[in-house]
């Protein structure tokens, strides 16, 4: 008999088949992180042994059933389905009574009948596998109720566990503080060190939407240079994202902290190359392009090996079809926002590229775009452009040059000269790339896939001489 059915993160679409209610021994059902749509079958309430149900991050709609496993269901098991309605204790809006409910349901059934059949077929294949597997297990003396699939997915973390993990959210564990909440370092019960992003109680509706947006975006994107989401804890009075912990903090801290933080030229090139790889994936590697909308050093987090990871997807945008821009009420951070945003009020892929160009200039000059030296009408791009051809070493971050070790040998002077020339060429190439990406004209900016290729080439050339 089937006790646990874990089908999370399998790209299933269509509606949830009614036939699942025939699995009378089911104790755990996980359908999270798919693209399931339509209404939740009320027949699932007949599963009297079902104690663990996870339907989060799908496209389900309509009223959440009462009774059975749904009686004690929390928002954590339903989050990411923006069209559900039901009980207030689950954090859901009240359902509206409509005379067109019958026709709407019929329309939904027609729209999703084929995907539903495909999903039902997948479940049938799995059930056949279980029956066959159980038959073999009985002949070998194995327990027939063991899990069908290993549960390698987002683990559930309770609010109480997070309280213990952070020593009651002690200030000594704070990694950062923002307008809508704080980020804490925490130690989970299984020994995993994580970053816990807690939404401040009484936050605005906009902050709540950012939280939901970040949950939705981060569960859909998977890349080695994007901060990984471990889990979500969401109740009516508490909301938190549990994220991959980055022991080396942010690029911003390394560039501007008063502490003795120094990054070599190679380290900086590697980090911006990591960020370019993440943005290339968001713009060109997802099923629908994703615009981050807030690319800046404080959102670039560094792991134990100083590998860069792009984080904070709170105001990101997901495009559909051939849209190149979408209206936004949140434009990003002053100094990194593309000039056309002020005119159109629309975020775009080109806006991300502009922000990345400013990030390149800041990373290698050590100057913020909001530095006081730019208060008289100039900006960081103009400053770099004016000094680019003949005074490049005067504008780059002196810490970067001072901290780099030169290679010595019997012919040390020649090698040092070669390394110095390679570094100057690297700096020139990177700053030129920054100027191209931050052009005032969106059409003149390079695509991120081309930027990533250029930066990787610069990195390889630098590695070969250092």
DSSP codes joined into one string, 156-215: P--HHHHHHHTTTT-GGGEEEEETTEEEEEEE-TTS-EEEEEEEPTT--HHHHHHHHHHH
Q: Tell me which of 60-69, 93-102, 421-430, 441-450 is least confident.
A: 93-102
pLDDT tens digits along 402-429: 655 544 444 445 556 667 888 889 999 9
Q: What's the mean pLDDT in 14-32?
A: 86
Residue 222 structure tokens: 């998977």
Half-sphere exposure (Cβ direction) of 199: Cα atoms closer than 13 Å: 25
Confidence class for position 27, pLDDT limits 50, 70, 90: confident
Q: Which segments of 324-397 does DSSP mark as H helices, in order? A: 341-344, 349-365, 380-387, 392-395
Question: Among the ranges 74-88, 179-193, 327-341, which has the highest mean pLDDT value?
Answer: 179-193
Q: Tell me which of 148-157, 314-323, 324-333, 369-378 is least confident.
A: 148-157
Edge-to-edge order in the sheet of strand 13-14: 13-14, 35-38, 59-63, 83-85
Confidence class for position 176, pLDDT limits 50, 70, 90: confident
Please state, in angstroms and rounded to a whole number, the distance separating the CA atoms of residues 95 and 215: 24
The pLDDT assigned to 301 comes to 95
The pLDDT assigned to 251 comes to 96
Q: Which segments of 403-443 does DSSP mark as H helices, in order? A: 412-437
- Is the pLDDT at 100 greater than 50? The verdict is no
Residue 98 structure tokens: 């409509």
The pLDDT assigned to 108 comes to 53
pLDDT tens digits along 104-126: 555 555 555 556 666 777 766 67
Please give the residue that has the higher pLDDT: either 202 or 184: 184
What sign does the dihedral 138-142-143-145 (CA atoms) show?
Answer: negative
Name the residues annotated as catalytic: 294
Q: How many angstroms separate the Cα of 79 from the Cα of each of 60, 117, 279, 287? A: 10, 25, 26, 22
Token pair 């269509």 is at which residue?
14
Please give the residue that has the higher pLDDT: either 100 or 393: 393
Please state, in angstroms and rounded to a whole number, the distance separating the CA atoms of residues 165 and 157: 10
The pLDDT assigned to 146 comes to 29
The pLDDT assigned to 454 comes to 96
Token pair 């110095």 is at which residue?
420
The pLDDT assigned to 246 comes to 95
Please state, in angstroms and rounded to a whole number, the distance separating the CA atoms of residues 235 and 259: 39
Q: What's the mean pLDDT in 291-308?
A: 94
Q: What's the mean pLDDT in 232-261?
A: 87
- Is the pLDDT at 383 greater than 60? The verdict is yes
The pLDDT assigned to 128 comes to 65
- Is the pLDDT at 327 greater than 60? The verdict is no
- Is the pLDDT at 380 greater than 50? The verdict is yes
The pLDDT assigned to 125 comes to 66
Please state, in angstroms and rounded to a whole number, the distance separating the CA atoms of residues 114 and 331: 40
Query: Is pTM, for the whole model, over 0.75?
Result: no
Q: What's the mean pLDDT in 279-290?
A: 90
- Is the pLDDT at 28 greater than 90? The verdict is no
| CA-closest candidate to residue 1, choices 151, 127, 119 | 127
Please state, in angstroms and rounded to a whole number, the distance separating the CA atoms of residues 295 and 289: 16
The pLDDT assigned to 133 comes to 54
- Is the pLDDT at 295 greater than 70? The verdict is yes
Please give the residue that has the higher pLDDT: either 125 or 464: 464
Structural domains of the chain in order of their starting residue, each with its CATH number: 4-140 (3.80.10.10), 159-244 (3.30.200.20), 251-463 (1.10.510.10)
Please state, in angstroms and rounded to a whole number, the distance separating the CA atoms of residues 155 and 311: 20
The pLDDT assigned to 19 comes to 85
Residue 97 structure tokens: 């009574």
Helices first, then strands: H and E counts in the chain:
12, 18
Q: What's the mean pLDDT in 143-166?
A: 60
197 marked ligand binding residue: yes
Please give the residue that has the higher pLDDT: either 158 or 353: 353
Please give the residue that has the higher pLDDT: either 202 or 271: 271
DSSP code of residue 285: I
Dihedral pair phi/psi, residue 29, rounded to 5°: -135, 115
The pLDDT assigned to 215 comes to 75
Confidence class for position 330, pLDDT limits 50, 70, 90: low
How do beta strands 35-38 and 13-14 pair?
Answer: parallel
The pLDDT assigned to 150 comes to 29
Question: End-to-end distance of the chain based on CA atoms, in angstroms?
Answer: 62
Q: How far is CA 395 from the centre of its chain?
A: 34
Region of 380 (left: φ > 0; alpha: ψ -120 to 50; beta: rest) is: alpha
The pLDDT assigned to 406 comes to 46
Q: What is the mean pLDDT of the chain?
A: 80
Please give the residue that has the higher pLDDT: either 329 or 188: 188
């Amino acid at each position: 008999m089937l006790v646990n059915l874990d089908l999370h993160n399998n790209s299933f679409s269509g509606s949830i088949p009614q036939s699942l209610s025939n699995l009378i021994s089911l104790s755990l059902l996980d359908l999270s992180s798919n693209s399931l749509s339509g209404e939740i079958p009320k027949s699932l309430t007949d599963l009297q042994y079902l104690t663990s149900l996870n339907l989060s991050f799908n496209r389900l709609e309509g009223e959440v059933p009462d009774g059975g496993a749904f009686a004690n269901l929390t928002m954590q098991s339903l989050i990411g389905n923006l069209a559900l309605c039901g009980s207030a204790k689950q954090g859901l809006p009240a359902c509206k009574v409509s005379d067109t409910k019958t026709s709407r349901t019929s329309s939904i059934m027609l729209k999703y009948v084929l995907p539903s059949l495909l999903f039902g077929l997948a479940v049938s294949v799995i059930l056949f596998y279980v029956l066959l597997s159980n038959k073999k297990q009985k002949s070998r003396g194995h327990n027939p109720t063991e899990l069908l699939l290993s549960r390698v997915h987002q683990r559930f973390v309770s609010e109480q566990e997070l309280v213990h993990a952070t020593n009651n959210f002690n200030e000594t564990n704070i990694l950062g503080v923002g307008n809508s909440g704080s980020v804490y370092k925490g130690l989970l019960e299984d020994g995993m060190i994580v970053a816990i992003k807690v939404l401040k109680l009484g936050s605005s509706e906009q902050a709540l939407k950012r939280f939901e947006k970040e949950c939705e975006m981060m569960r859909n994107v998977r890349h080695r240079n994007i901060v990984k989401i471990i889990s979500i804890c969401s109740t009516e009075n508490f909301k938190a994202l549990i994220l991959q912990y980055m022991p080396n903090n942010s690029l911003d801290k390394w560039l501007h902290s008063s502490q003795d933080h120094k990054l070599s030229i190679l380290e900086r090139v590697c980090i911006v190359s990591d960020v370019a790889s993440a943005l290339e994936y968001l713009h060109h590697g997802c099923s629908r392009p994703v615009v981050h909308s807030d690319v800046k050093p404080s959102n670039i987090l560094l792991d134990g090996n100083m590998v860069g990871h792009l984080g904070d997807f709170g105001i990101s945008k997901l495009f559909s079809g051939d849209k190149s821009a979408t209206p936004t009420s949140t434009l990003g951070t002053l100094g990194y926002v593309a000039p056309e945003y002020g005119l159109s009020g629309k975020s775009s892929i080109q806006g991300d590229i502009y922000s990345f160009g400013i990030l390149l200039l800041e990373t290698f000059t050590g100057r913020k775009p909001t530095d006081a030296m730019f208060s008289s009408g100039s900006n960081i791009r103009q400053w770099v452009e004016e000094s680019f051809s003949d005074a490049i070493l005067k504008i780059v971050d002196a810490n970067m040059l001072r901290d780099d070790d030169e290679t010595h040998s019997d012919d040390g002077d020649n090698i040092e000269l070669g390394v110095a020339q390679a570094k100057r060429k690297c700096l020139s190439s990177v700053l030129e790339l920054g100027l191209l990406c931050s052009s005032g004209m969106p059409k003149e900016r390079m695509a991120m896939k081309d930027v990533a290729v250029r930066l990787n080439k610069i990195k390889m050339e630098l590695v070969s001489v250092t």
